[in-house]
Amino acid sequence: MRTVNIEVTVNGQLYRKEVPVNQTLLRFLREDLFLNSLKEGCNEGECGACTVIVDGYPVNSCLVLAAEMDGKSVLTAEGLAGDDRLHPLQEAFLEAGAVQCGYCTPGMLMSAVALLNLYPHPTRDQICKEMEGNICRCTGYARIADAVLLAVDKMDAERKAAAEAGVEMPVFAGIDEKFSDKWNKRYNVS
């Protein structure tokens, strides 16, 4: 089997690995790095259970090769929480009851990160549209949309409190305040 060497940053940590040229990113993250939040649902890019963020963009990790990740940055659900607390999206999913069996939850969280990068204050319609690549058989989607809206409120409250206290603005893993500008420039949207 042919292999290649890659350097990839996953959840803020640099890895130098030799990977088979036909190994998917999903298999690499689960089997080589033991990051088990990603689920292998359909293995066809249809269910969203394996969604990760690669250089700011949502990717179905079952459809891309690990060899393609050389020089890239990958964020998984394991990388969302801080040292002492959950990410506001994780908190909101719990509080809104958007977690039932949990199989789809990591992919939903990563798609929600991507959504909030495009639309920092999304409407319910925008949430439904952007999350349609993720399948959930347990919760329906109303609670997931509720959770995303609750997370927005939580992040806004933390930003407001920091501004009022004159302290450094909070940083939320995966949330890039300037992402929509990058997206618009990349795709020539004015």
Measured CA to CA, the distance from residue 80 to residue 146 in angstroms comes to: 19
Helices 105-118 & 179-186, crossing angle to 10 degrees?
80
CATH number at residue 35: 3.10.20.30
pLDDT of residue 100: 83
**Distance, C-alpha 73 to centroid of its chain:** 12
pLDDT score recorded for residue 183: 66
Q: What is the pLDDT of residue 110?
A: 96
CB 56 within 8 A of CB 117: yes
Q: Is residue 20 part of a domain?
A: yes
Residues of the chain with pLDDT below 70 are 180, 183-184, 187-190
**Element (H or E) spanning 52, and its range?**
strand 51-54
Q: In this structure, are 14 and 96 located in the same domain? A: no
* Residues 133 and 67 occupy one common structural domain: no
Same domain, 93 and 169: yes
- The answer to whether residue 189 is domain-embedded is no
The 10 Å Cβ neighbour count of residue 101 is 10
Residue 30, pLDDT score: 97
pLDDT digits (tens, 9 = 90+) for 70-104: 999 999 999 999 878 999 999 999 999 998 888 89
pTM of the model: 0.91
pLDDT value of residue 88: 96
